Amino acid sequence: MKNTVLHRDDNSAAEPAMKIAFISPPVPGHLNPMTTLARKLQSRNHNVVFISSPDGEPSVRAADLTFVPWAVKELAAAPPKERPRWQELQGEEALRAALQNAAARTEAMLNSLPATLTAVDAVVLDTALVYAELAPMSLGMPYIHVSVALHRDYSGSTPPYFYDWPHETTPAALAGALVGAITLLLVSGALREDTVLSRQPIPTPSRVCATSTL
């Protein structure tokens, strides 16, 4: 299978309002709401294509949408780590493995998307695909973000969504939420440990050491 490039049909008798590309991770919790929105726009005479990794194709076609795979050649050359390994891990190790997989997919996606998007008018992006907006930005193309997942709060006001901690406003709870947010940034590589250590130490409540729920 080759990477697909979309081509505009300038000779069509009845041009649709816009040609819109939806881009989403191949995960049911993301595909289900995103394909619902895509079908709604398609019903309003927009020409909609749905872009995801190859393993998202069955769900997209089941929604009666045109599917275009991203990064076919890139993923075939350097496939990300397999998901079943995550099931053998717990807590931060599982989170790290998931983020490493996501990073590999993101790199492959960004390498292939510009060529794929050359014939669309606008892009609808799932916010879970961090930095995916760089592709339409590089083409001077309008895009919007749609969030279909739990909010990632890096402020420390609420616990990160992958921990099973209740929301509390006690000093200990807020300290724990902040440590959880910093842990997410460290594990994802968005924050360096030496940067954290150079600042004032943050008290670590005992429950931060508990096993997280993914």
**For residue 211, pLDDT beyond 80:** no
Question: For 150-198, what is each residue's pLDDT tens digit?
Answer: 777 878 888 887 778 888 999 999 888 888 888 877 766 666 665 555 5
User: What is the rounded distance in angstroms from the CA atom of residue 99 to the CA atom of residue 148?
Assistant: 18
Q: How far is CA 167 from CA 100, 152, 202, 204, 208, in A?
A: 28, 14, 19, 17, 14
* Residue 93 pLDDT: 78
> pLDDT > 70: what percent of the chain?
73
Is pTM beyond 0.75 here?
no
Question: For 92-140, what is each residue's pLDDT tens digit?
Answer: 777 777 777 777 777 888 888 988 898 899 999 998 888 889 999 999 9
